[in-house]
């Protein structure tokens, strides 16, 4: 049974405590698993795990297959002998409650470079063999990714369309020369991914052994500046120089007069269908190695997506184009078996999208913060929930519930909330948490910020804001906050 009645917490690993400037796969990741178990939570939901780029967004990564080496535990590298105790004595004075990505990335790069040099100098045959065997098993994405990263570093971090043309357009002789010229860096990036994978799978085994399942996240679209697009240009709508001709977005709506111009290149779905969606099958299989359940972001794009000419400055001038539809999921199901997928079905959802979701038995999402503007028939209100869904107080894209109440909820919304709960609400986060836990939805996920009674200053992401997102971290003291005991009470009271 993929979805039993259960409760869990949303927390991205970068938001964990730790002395190295960001959460990682070390001590605090294991302590968080123990925290979940101790407090009757069965699920740990997180954001995409790929290597981030400009803007630090986990939804715009350099690869749909690779892991974020920023999450590699330096303490575990000390434990394996690739770093010394002395190497990690003089750690910069990083902020405790936020990630200063620029400084953290530089520091981790130096430490990982040092660890790799020690590995090259001292690794024994069994370790070298294990690395090589893992690289062989993952060659279908790893070789391109490692070369992409080496070339990107060589070109000062510039987007691949700005590289030397022969490298950008993957001329065979240029790639052969690049592999020889950048062999050291290619080895470094391959090693980083191996280390990430080993550390992650050890954490997953620990969590699963304790009865905790991991929920991951797959953005439907990939970043243009990624090894995925660079290595597979025939799968995307690109011009002869590699630039997108059409891009993803959403049309104008109540929230934006100009829509949202995301900029991701769009798939040539007809081309993907010709080889049985093999790129997608590999992508989903790789994700399910790392997590137990996947949330697919912007699920509606499988039914129809908003296509915007890349020359347009906004998303106003676009058109709806049919997606791959049911055929895609039939092929995926035939290849991989069951579909442990949560469909992110937020926004304006059509009957066709609902039919696609329900036809494969995929649970959708209900966000408690969204429930109060549409009257008593609003599908997000608890009395309108269905069992096959996942309910949240809020998500990474929302304000914290307290921040929403004080900064975004209108007087009409507050009046409706008070009427719904039949009293004047004073602890909005706990009212929504209790209602979510009480829901008939089989799965309930609460962001840690809401459990800790935190306000807008702890928001994870504000869509459209160029800087300052993804930086929130909890502290060791937060794991002693009494709010978690209240969550335990509701979890047990409502049979989760």
- Which residue numbers are catalytic? 297, 344, 397
Contact 345, 302 (CB under 8 A): no
Partner residues linked to 10 by β-bridges: 45, 447
Give the residue from 101, 343, 333, 92 showing the smallest Cα distance to 217: 343
Please give the Cα distance from 89 to 92 (Å, whole number).
9
H helices of 236-312, where?
269-274, 278-290
Q: Is 268 exposed, middle or buried (0-12, 13-18, 19+ CB in 10 A)?
A: middle
| Alpha-carbon distances of 340 from 63, 72, 223, rounded to whole Å | 22, 26, 24
- Measured in residues, the chain has a length of 496
Contact 258, 314 (CB under 8 A): yes
Partner residues linked to 43 by β-bridges: 8, 213
Give the other-Cβ count within 10 Å of 129's Cβ. Answer: 11
Q: Report helix, strand or coil for 238.
A: strand
The DSSP result for 363-402, as a single string, is -EEEEGGGTTSS-TT-TTSGGG--SSEEEES--TTSPPHH
Q: Report helix, strand or coil for 261.
A: strand
Q: Report helix, strand or coil for 306.
A: strand
Partner residues linked to 292 by β-bridges: none
H helices of 155-216, where?
165-168, 172-181, 183-209
């Amino acid at each position: 049974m993929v979805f039993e009645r259960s409760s869990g917490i949303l927390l991205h690993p970068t938001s964990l405590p730790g002395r190295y400037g960001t959460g990682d796969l070390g001590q605090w990741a294991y302590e968080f698993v123990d925290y979940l178990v101790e407090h009757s939570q069965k699920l740990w939901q997180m954001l995409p795990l790929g290597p981030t780029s400009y803007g630090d967004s986990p939804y715009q990564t350099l690869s749909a297959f690779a892991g974020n080496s920023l999450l590699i535990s330096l303490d575990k590298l000390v434990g394996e002998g690739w770093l010394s105790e002395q190497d990690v004595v003089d750690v910069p004075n990083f902020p405790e409650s936020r990630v200063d990505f620029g400084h953290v990335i530089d520091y981790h790069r130096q430490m990982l470079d040092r660890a790799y040099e020690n590995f090259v100098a001292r690794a024994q045959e069994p370790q070298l063999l294990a690395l090589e065997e893992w690289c062989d098993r993952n060659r279908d994405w790893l070789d391109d990714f490692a070369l992409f990263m080496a070339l990107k570093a060589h070109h000062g971090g510039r987007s691949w369309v700005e590289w030397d043309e022969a490298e950008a357009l993957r001329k065979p002789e240029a790639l052969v020369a690049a592999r020889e010229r950048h062999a050291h860096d290619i080895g470094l990036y391959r090693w980083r991914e191996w280390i990430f994978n080993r550390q992650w799978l050890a954490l997953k085994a620990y969590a699963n052994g304790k009865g905790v399942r991991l929920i991951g996240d797959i953005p439907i679209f990939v970043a243009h500046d990624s090894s995925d697009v660079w290595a597979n240009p025939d799968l995307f709508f690109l011009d002869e120089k590699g630039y997108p001709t059409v891009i993803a977005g959403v049309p104008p709506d109540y929230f934006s007069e100009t829509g949202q111009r995301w900029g991701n290149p769009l798939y040539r779905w007809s081309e993907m269908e010709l080889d049985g969606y093999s790129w997608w099958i590999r992508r989903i299989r790789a994700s399910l190695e790392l997590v137990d359940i996947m949330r697919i972001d912007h699920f509606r794009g499988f039914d129809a997506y908003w296509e915007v000419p890349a020359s347009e400055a906004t998303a106003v001038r676009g058109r709806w184009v049919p997606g791959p539809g049911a055929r895609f999921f039939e092929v995926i199901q035939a290849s991989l078996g069951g579909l442990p997928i949560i469909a992110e079905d937020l926004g304006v959802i059509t009957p066709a999208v609902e039919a696609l979701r329900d036809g494969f038995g995929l649970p959708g999402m209900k966000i408690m913060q969204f429930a109060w503007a549409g009257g008593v028939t609003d599908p997000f209100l608890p009395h309108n929930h269905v069992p096959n869904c996942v309910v949240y107080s809020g998500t990474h894209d929302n304000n914290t519930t307290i921040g929403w109440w004080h900064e975004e909820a209108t007087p009409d919304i507050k009046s409706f909330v008070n009427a719904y709960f039949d009293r004047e609400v004073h602890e909005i986060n706990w009212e929504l948490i209790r209602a979510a836990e009480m829901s008939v939805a089989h799965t309930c996920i609460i962001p840690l910020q809401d459990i800790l009674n935190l306000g807008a200053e702890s928001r994870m992401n504000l869509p459209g804001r160029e800087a300052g997102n993804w930086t929130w971290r909890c502290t060791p003291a937060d794991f002693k906050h009494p709010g978690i005991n209240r969550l335990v009470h509701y979890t047990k009271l409502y049979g989760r």
